[in-house]
Structure 1
Amino acid sequence: MESLPISITRAEIWLCITTLLYFLMNGAQIFETLVFVPKWASSPPETFKLLQDGKGASLKFFWIILHSLHEIAFILAIIFCWKIDPVRNWLLVLFIIHAAVRVWTLAFFAPNIIQFQNLASSSPISEEIISRISLWKTLNYVRVAIYIILSIGFIPLCIKLFSFRQ
């Protein structure tokens, strides 16, 4: 049996790492969405303390590290799959959608969480903040669904790439 070109093997490795990291992120996002978000959103401003660094379960560093590792792996998967047209093209589509959701996260979700953290020691919360919490929760379901769909999109790419072994 002839050995595979090293570029195919590296492409497989980085695509698999990227896919596994995406599914790991999905698990964390699902847990956060179903367990943690309802907890901090249940009775503001008291429950906003759960979001604070050093006082609650701040997940800022977890998400920064996980997203950074994933995005490095994603870029390496694109680099190593570059000469494999059908895989490269779909990876680029997935990456563009992923980047759009990340921009949305940094533009909407992160600033709102920071503001919610800062309101932890406030007196009563206004109706406007209650509405923003509700909107944040609803849009978070959409965001997590998009990430799950994106990660599922990696499965056919892995199958396609592994089909080159035959």
Structure 2
Amino acid sequence: MESLTATYITRAEIWLCITTLLYFLMNGAQIFETLLFVPKWASSPPDTLKLLQDENGVSLKFFWIILHSLHEITFILAIAFCWKIDPVRNWLLILLIIHVAVRVWTLAFFAPNIIQFQNLASATSVSQEIITRISLWKTLNYIRVAVYIAVSIGFIPLCIKVLSFRQ
């Protein structure tokens, strides 16, 4: 590792801590949504699917778009400002790969399904196949949230490592 200046370490600390805090904020929102909101909208379709509609329900679309965008910008900045700190950079890249994989999974599976569930809110009934898909969505969402939590926990030793350079 090349010589690291105090300014470099300070910037690395700031951006790594910001992205870690945003990740934990995202985890809190995901846990809230998973434990309280998802069981509510999934409990009695199609009636409860109205909760997913933008105009009548709790639209979380903009919240998630903004939070993920902010977090991903700070994540990239953390990598950039930690680039000269080899072990931290390498672990950040691993965490980023995992994060991107889960985001791709979200965009490929979770988002299209939730949009379809929203569109069924005005239906008089839903098929057993839709009920099965809602159940699968809920189950896989537990796994998705667990992976995000694991990634956020992975930030903690990196923050400790960067903060230890101050000594």
* TM-based fold match above 0.5: yes
The answer for unaligned runs of 5 or more in structure 2 is none
Specify the code of the residue in structure 1 equivalent to 2:106.
T
SS in 2 for 1:82: coil
CA distance in 1, matches of 2:33, 2:99: 19
Other-structure match for 2:124 = 123
| TM-score (ref. length: structure 2) | 0.96
Q: Which residue number corresponds to residue 38 of structure 1? A: 39
Q: Deviations over 1:69-118 (max 9, x none)?
A: 00000000000000110000000000000000000000000000000000
Displacement of 1:54 in angstroms is 1.4
Structure 1: which 5+ runs fail to align? Answer: none
Which residues in structure 2 correspond to 1:1-166 (within 5 Å)?
5-166=6-167
Question: Which residue type is aligned with residue 165 of structure 2?
Answer: F
Identity %: 83
CA distance in structure 2 between the aligned counterparts of 1:164 and 1:66, rounded to whole angstroms: 30
TM-score after normalising by structure 1? 0.97
User: Which amino acid in structure 2 is aligned with residue 117 of structure 1?
Assistant: Q
For residues 163 and 58 of structure 1, the distance between their equivalents in structure 2, rounded to whole angstroms, comes to 42
Q: Distance in 2 between matches of 1:16 and 1:30?
A: 21
RMSD: 0.6
**Could you tell me which amino acid in structure 2 is paired with residue 149 of structure 1?**
A
Secondary structure of the corresponding residue to residue 154 of structure 1: helix
| Alpha-carbon distance between aligned partners in 2 of 1:36 and 1:85, rounded to the nearest angstrom | 41
CA distance in 2: counterparts of 1:58 and 1:113, whole angstroms: 11
Structure 1 segments (4+ residues) deviating >4 Å: none
